[in-house]
């Protein structure tokens, strides 16, 4: 009997690769997925470091250089106000990056996962309330929802931020665009949590009947521990896939909001605003780079997330491929 | 089954009530005084004419009374009067535009399904070959093009560059001329092609799932030809899950495509919604939101019922 008991040292050395680690190994063997990761890395890195790498300021106007096609001093040309398109695209990436990640982290992950865990684990009327709320929110089409929320909530938030400015030493908040960030994040969160909540709930409903959860409960593991240490890690793979695929629609929603005029306000640059300014046929005929630059960046970001999600789906569910 | 349907049907009015409450509160607590919207900003909100209008619209009553009045009228089919277009009932305003959006979305849906379903069925049979990943990737590429880029590029490509479609007096191919007008081609393509990816992936997954079933093996072993198996056994069973997504797309008909309609100048419901948000035309936005929400709820129910009808193994309690 005593011979079968392994020492702690032996157990540690016996440790195999984890689930995520193995999935990652399979992922980097896919050329397309690696390509997507590289593209996303380049785009996001240039968005993060825009302060250091952008050649001009985003509102710098050069009246001698209006509507220039791409050349050596303006890599992606200039727009109708003589501003450098390359710089503005980089700043637009930064805005999209911040907003979509904030939206996904708070809405999709924190709110959605918690809701899903609680509703799946406790069941009963808590489950009913959360699920019905999700049903009500999702019965309003996504674009309508973000349209309504951003239109009605924005002035309230502007008022609030002004009040904060007046009553504290903080200044330039409104001018700095914090209102836009707040409104867009709120709109993104409003629909972002439902998908993950439903997914996690479904997983939990199945997992909570399994024996290892019974075992954990019977040895007295506390409820938060059961939820976050035993249930959540087992639901992680579909969650990763959903979040990855959701990033594409988050980016789309953010661009839509700025495009329609309820998101980032000009002159501050965003991909949506740039696409609005250049989104007509006469621009395509005379200055195609104005649409090509922001359009292709937006396209590449959404495409890379979608393809990555597809690859991750294959990696995590080997059954279907 | 009937029990289930009745329970679900009872849920719809309740859902509408909650949605209307939320949107009502959002708009009333939101910016802009409706009276000022109607009279214009020059008017003093405390002037006599403003007071009169306020009384006429019932805006001087407490919020809850206003809401109760609104809901009672709504369920009787009276959506009120538009603030922007004075004297026009919202119902009239919306129904015409809703019909346009529905036609457009129907055309788009036909494009997505007629391309997507056969394509998904086809690549499921080519699993492991090069066609499968290639087609899925192409569909994802098309889906990822932002609509605000896709529409102008399509216009440029079809109308200006190649002159495949006629060019109407300065404004190329935009506007609305009905379901059988050439001007529907660009918007329908721009809405339909991105949707192909959804149907391809769904159809592929469900076909693969069906092909692994025992009854397919049985069909093979009793000597049925591949064509008969595909048409009679695989396709019929694989198309069931598509029914679900189809009824949601049907509900989306009413929602319309905000972006496409705005760019193409189509007087549909999506464009109306955007205009009303900017004009603070609350009765119109409320009505659009509520009607779409209602359609989604009913589509949800329809999906579940058809699911049970097509597949007798599914039972609801």
**CA-based angle A233:A236:A241, to the nearest 5?**
175
Using DSSP's 3-state secondary structure scheme, residue A251 falls into: helix
- B window 144-173, beta carbon within 8 A of A: 144-146, 148-149, 151-153, 155-156, 159-160, 172
Q: pLDDT band at residue B97, thresholds of 50, 70 and 90? A: confident
In this predicted structure, what is the pLDDT of residue A162?
83
B15, B152, B255 member nearest A284 (Cβ): B152
Distance from CA of B153 to the nearest CA of A (A): 8
pLDDT reading at A299 higher than 90 = yes
**Least confident among A197-206, B70-79, B111-120:** B70-79
User: Inter-chain contact B29–A154, Cβ cutoff 8 Å?
Assistant: no
In this complex, is the C-beta atom of B138 within 8 Å of any C-beta atom belonging to chain A? no
Verify whether the Cβ–Cβ distance B153 to A155 is below 8 Å: no
CB A45 within 8 A of CB A90: no
Selection from B257, B269, B293 nearest residue B90 by Cα: B269
How is B187-252 classified by DSSP, letter by letter? Answer: HHHHHHHHHHHHHHHHHHHHHHHHHTSHHHHHHHHTT--HHHIIIIIIIHHHTHHHHHHHHHHHHH
pLDDT 10s digits, A215-258: 998 998 988 888 888 888 888 888 888 899 889 888 988 898 88
Nearest to A152 among B18, B19, B30 (CB): B30
- The first and second tokens of residue A234, run together, are 């087992």
- Strand segments, DSSP code E, in chain A are none
Q: Is B59 exposed, middle or buried (0-12, 13-18, 19+ CB in 10 A)?
A: middle
Report the range of poorest mean pLDDT among A2-16, A130-144, A183-197, B238-252: A2-16
- CA neighbor of B252 nearest in space, from B106, B79, B151, B97: B106
Cross-chain Cβ contact A135/B255 below 8 Å: no
Residue B66 neighbours by CB distance under 10 Å? 16
pTM for the predicted model, two decimal places: 0.86
What pLDDT is stored for residue B5 in this prediction?
81
Report CA dihedral (B197, B198, B202, B203) to the nearest 10 degrees: -50
Task: Kindly write down the DSSP assignment for every residue of A136-195, as one continuous string.
Answer: HHHHS-HHHHHHHHHHHHHHHHHHHHHHHHHHSS---TTTTTHHHHHHHHHHHHHHHHHH
Inter-chain Cβ pairs, chain A and chain B, closer than 8 A: 127
Q: What are phi and psi of A311, to 5 degrees?
A: -65, -40
**With an 8 Å Cβ cutoff, are B148 and A136 in contact?**
no
CA separation for the pair A23, A10 (Å, rounded): 25
Facing A306 at nearest CB: one of B144, B258, B273:
B144
- For residue B210, which phi and psi values (nearest 5 degrees)? -65, -40
pLDDT over 70 percentage in chain A = 92
Q: pLDDT for B150-178, tens place per residue?
A: 888 888 887 777 666 665 544 555 667 77
Residues on chain A touching B258 (C-beta within 8 angstroms): 143, 147, 256, 260
Q: Which residues of B touch A139 (CB under 8 A)?
A: 15, 19, 292-293, 296-297, 300
pLDDT score at B122: 93
Q: Which of A31, A151, A275 to mutate to test the interface with B (most CBs of B within 10 A)?
A: A151
A281 vs A285: CA distance, rounded Å: 6
Residues in chain B with CB shorter than 8 Å from the CB of A151 are: 30, 277-278
Instruction: State how far the Cα of B174 lies from the Cα of B154, in Å rounded to an integer.
Output: 12
Could you tell me if B292 and B273 are in contact, meaning their C-beta atoms sit under 8 angstroms apart? no
Rounded to 5 degrees, φ, ψ at A84 are -75, 125
In the CATH scheme, what is the code of domain A97-320? 1.10.3720.10
ipTM score for this prediction: 0.83
Distance (Å, whole) CA B303 – CA B309: 10
- Which parts of A40-129 are beta strand (E)? none
pLDDT above 60 (res A2): no
A320: pLDDT confidence band, cut at 50, 70 and 90?
very low
Using an 8 Å CB-CB cutoff, list residues of chain A that contact chain B: 32, 135-136, 138-141, 143-144, 147-149, 151-156, 248, 252, 255-256, 259-262, 272, 275-276, 279-281, 283-285, 291, 295, 298-299, 302-303, 306-307, 310, 320
Cβ separation of A285 and B143 shorter than 8 Å? no
Beta bridge partners, A78, equal: A84
Separation CA A45–CA A39 (nearest Å): 10
Are A260 and B152 in contact (CB < 8 Å)? no
Name the CA radius of gyration of chain A, rounded: 24
Minimum CA–CA partner of B128 in chain A: A321
pLDDT, one tens digit per residue, over B14-50 is: 888 888 888 888 777 766 667 777 777 666 667 777 7
Whose tokens are 């709820």? That residue is B297
> How many angstroms separate the CA of residue B282 from the nearest CA in chain A?
10
How far, in Å, CA of A154 to CA of B29, rounded?
11
DSSP H or E stretch at residue A288: helix A288-316
Distances in Å between the alpha carbon of B11 and those of A24, B15, B40, B298? 44, 6, 41, 10
Q: Is the pLDDT of residue A141 over 90?
A: no
B194-247 pLDDT, tens digit each: 889 989 988 998 999 898 889 999 999 999 888 989 888 899 888 888 877 777
Picking from B98, B120, B136, B146 by the largest number of A CB atoms within 10 A of its own CB, the best residue to mutate is B146
Cα dihedral B242→B245→B246→B251 (10° resolution): 170
For residue A229, the 8-state DSSP code is I
A165: Cα within 13 Å, side-chain hemisphere:
14
HSE (side-chain half, CA atoms, 13 Å) at A274: 33
Which neighbouring-strand residues pair with B89? Answer: B81
Which of A129, A144, A149, A299 to probe the B interface (max B CBs under 10 A)?
A: A144
């Amino acid at each position: 009997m005593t011979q079968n008991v392994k020492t702690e040292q032996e157990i540690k050395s016996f440790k195999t690769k984890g689930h995520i680690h193995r999935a990652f190994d399979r992922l980097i063997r896919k050329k397309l997925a690696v390509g997507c990761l590289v593209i996303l890395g380049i785009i996001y890195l240039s968005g993060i470091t825009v302060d250091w790498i952008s050649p001009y300021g985003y509102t710098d106007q050069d009246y001698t250089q209006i509507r220039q096609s791409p050349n050596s001093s303006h890599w992606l040309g200039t727009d109708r106000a003589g501003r450098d398109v390359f710089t503005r695209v980089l700043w637009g990436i930064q805005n999209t990056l911040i907003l979509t990640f904030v939206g996904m982290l708070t809405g999709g992950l924190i709110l959605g996962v918690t809701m899903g865990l609680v509703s799946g684990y406790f069941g009963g009327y808590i489950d009913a309330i959360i699920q019905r709320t999700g049903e009500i929110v999702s019965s309003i089409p996504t674009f309508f929802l973000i349209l309504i929320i951003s239109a009605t909530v924005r002035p309230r938030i502007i008022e609030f931020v002004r009040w904060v400015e007046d009553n504290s030493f903080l200044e330039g908040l409104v001018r700095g665009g914090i209102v836009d960030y707040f409104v867009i994040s709120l709109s993104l969160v409003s629909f972002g949590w439902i998908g993950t909540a439903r997914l996690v709930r479904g997983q939990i409903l199945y997992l909570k009947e399994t024996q290892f959860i019974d075992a954990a409960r019977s040895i007295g593991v506390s409820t938060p521990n059961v939820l976050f240490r035993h249930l959540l890690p087992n639901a992680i793979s579909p969650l990763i896939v959903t979040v990855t695929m959701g990033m594409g629609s988050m980016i789309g929603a953010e661009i839509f909001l700025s495009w329609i005029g309820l998101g980032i306000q000009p002159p501050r640059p965003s991909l949506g605003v740039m696409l609005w300014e250049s989104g007509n046929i006469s621009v395509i005929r005379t200055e195609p780079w104005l649409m090509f630059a922001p359009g292709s960046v937006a396209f590449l970001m959404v495409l890379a997330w979608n393809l990555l999600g597809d690859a991750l789906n294959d990696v995590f569910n080997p059954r279907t491929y | 089954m009937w029990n289930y349907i009745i329970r679900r049907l009872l849920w719809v009015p309740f859902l509408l009530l909650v949605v209307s409450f939320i949107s009502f509160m959002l708009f009333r607590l939101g910016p802009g005084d409706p009276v000022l919207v109607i009279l214009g900003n020059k008017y003093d909100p405390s002037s006599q004419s403003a007071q009169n209008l306020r009384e006429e619209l019932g805006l001087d009553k407490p919020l809850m009374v206003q809401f109760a009045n609104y809901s009672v009228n709504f369920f009787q089919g009276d959506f009120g009067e538009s603030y922007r277009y004075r004297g026009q009932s919202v119902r009239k305003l919306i129904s015409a535009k809703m019909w346009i959006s529905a036609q457009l979305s129907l055309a788009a849906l036909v494009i997505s399904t007629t391309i997507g379903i056969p394509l998904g069925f086809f690549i499921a049979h080519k699993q492991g070959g090069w066609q499968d990943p290639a087609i899925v990737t192409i569909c994802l590429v098309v889906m990822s093009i932002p609509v605000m880029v896709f529409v102008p590029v399509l216009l440029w490509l079809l109308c200006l560059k190649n002159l495949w479609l006629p060019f109407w007096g300065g404004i190329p191919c935009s506007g609305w001329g009905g379901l059988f007008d050439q001007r529907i081609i660009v918007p329908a393509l721009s809405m339909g092609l991105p949707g192909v990816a959804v149907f391809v992936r769904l159809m592929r997954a469900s076909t693969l799932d069906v092909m692994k079933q025992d009854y397919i093996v049985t069909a093979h072993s009793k000597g049925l030809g591949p064509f008969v198996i595909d048409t009679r056994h695989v396709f019929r069973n694989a198309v069931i899950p598509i029914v679900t997504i189809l009824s949601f797309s049907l509900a989306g008909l009413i929602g319309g495509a905000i972006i496409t309609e705005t760019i193409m100048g189509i007087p549909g419901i999506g464009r109306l919604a955007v205009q009303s948000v900017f004009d603070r035309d609350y009765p119109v936005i409320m009505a659009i939101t509520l009607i779409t929400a209602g359609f989604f709820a009913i589509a949800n129910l329809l999906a579940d019922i058809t699911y049970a009808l097509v597949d007798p193994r599914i039972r609801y309690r």
